[in-house]
Structure 1
């Protein structure tokens, strides 16, 4: 397994509130997470870093012989522990009041993967020339589009498209969306913040991932470059994981 992890503050923001991490676990399984923080007074970067750190510590103890149901439960529990950590810090410290973060996380077994997410950071899986979105944005605009109140075109340019309906750390209790998928040699997983897909089309993402002239690091770099060339209106984070016959890529913090 190989990984590539890139993050950029973008062309407008002064602080990068995105955080990401990927690693092979002691069990031999692999895990990854991207978090996009929010909150005034730089609380967003505190929320995303705490979420990533808590998730990393919680997921490290999972065992290799998990059933698929146990893997899903372990992933969910690690995210919920991160939610508790962020919420408790915000409740104790006025400086961090109302801070929160999106999160999209993966746990990868030999033949299957599991995604857990809250907010509007996304996971995509590439197999062959197909790129498939694995997550559903927890945003007001997505809810309006699902109910037919606005069209997909209106949703893409809606002034409130970044308003979240669910975030990690803003409430004591939160629901985690969980999804399983098949995972086999040659597959790639992309975890990203909205700074990527808001600036770069899915066709451009797919074409970049399929470019045989680029290795995995170069693909991640190119995706960041495309977001910056399109305006770089937000922090942008790209985490790529490739199922290969080689050894795992090891820990790669953003």
Structure 2
């Protein structure tokens, strides 16, 4: 498996409040995490950083690599621990009051994987020329769209499209979505903050991931460029995972 990670502050924000990481977990599974922090006075940066650090620490102590349905409670507990860490830090420090973060993470091993998430950072899988969004945005606009109160076109332009209905660290308890996915040779997985998905259409994302003349790092760079060309209104973070031969994951990275 090959992996590329890129992050950019964008054209508007002064601080990059996104945090991301990928690496092997005890030499077995490949794990990847994207967190998009929120809160004033650098609190978003603190929330996303605490989240990624907490999850990575928990993963290093997790020895269950049968990534099927039986592993769902374990992954939920790992994300729940991160939620407690962020919430308690905010409760004890006035300058971090109400800070929080989105999080989307993936674990891939031996033909299967897990996706866990809260908020509107996304996971996409591309397979056989089809791009599939694996996550569901925890946003007000998505809830209104599902209930039929907004069309997809109205949702895309809605002034409150970035309002979250769920975030990590803002409450002592939070609902965590976890799902099992199958994983095949030739698949690609994209994890991203909404600095990409909110600015670049799915068709352009798919076309970039299918550009065979670009290597994985160049594809990641191109996705960042597309978000900047569209305005760069937010921080932008992408992780791409590609399984071209079913090889074991190597290396690691952070941003």
Pairwise same-fold verdict (TM > 0.5): yes
Indicate the residue corresponding to 2:35 in structure 1.
Answer: 35
Query: Retained in 2: the 8 A contact 1:17–1:48?
Result: yes
Indicate the residue corresponding to 1:234 in structure 2.
Answer: 234
Indicate the residue corresponding to 2:96 in structure 1.
Answer: 96
d(CA) in 1 for partners of 2:184, 2:82: 29
Indicate the residue corresponding to 2:77 in structure 1.
Answer: 77
How far 1:106 moved relative to its partner?
A: 0.8
How far 1:70 moved relative to its partner?
A: 3.2
Partner deviation per Cα, 1:75-98 (whole Å, 9 max, x = no partner):
211111110100010001101010
User: Please, which runs of 5 or more residues in structure 1 have no aligned partner?
Assistant: none
d(CA) in 1 for partners of 2:109, 2:249: 12
Query: Retained in 1: the 8 A contact 2:67–2:114?
Result: no
User: Please, which runs of 5 or more residues in structure 2 have no aligned partner?
Assistant: none
Indicate the residue corresponding to 2:252 in structure 1.
Answer: 251
Residues 67 and 31 (structure 1 numbering): CA distance in 2 closer, same or farther, change over 3 Å?
closer
Normalised by the length of structure 1, the TM-score is 0.97
Indicate the residue corresponding to 2:205 in structure 1.
Answer: 205
SS at match of 2:254: coil
Q: Within 5 A, what are the aligned runs for 1:1-254?
A: 1-63=1-63, 65-66=65-66, 68-245=68-245, 246-254=247-255
How far 1:65 moved relative to its partner?
A: 4.6
Pick which of 83-92 and 59-68 moved more: 59-68
Query: Retained in 1: the 8 A contact 2:10–2:232?
Result: yes
Residues 143 and 125 (structure 1 numbering): CA distance in 2 closer, same or farther, change over 3 Å?
same
Q: What is the number of residues matched between the two proteins?
A: 254
RMSD: 1.1
Pick which of 114-123 and 59-68 moved more: 59-68
d(CA) in 1 for partners of 2:140, 2:65: 39
Normalised by the length of structure 2, the TM-score is 0.97
Partner deviation per Cα, 1:46-75 (whole Å, 9 max, x = no partner):
000000000000012222552512322222
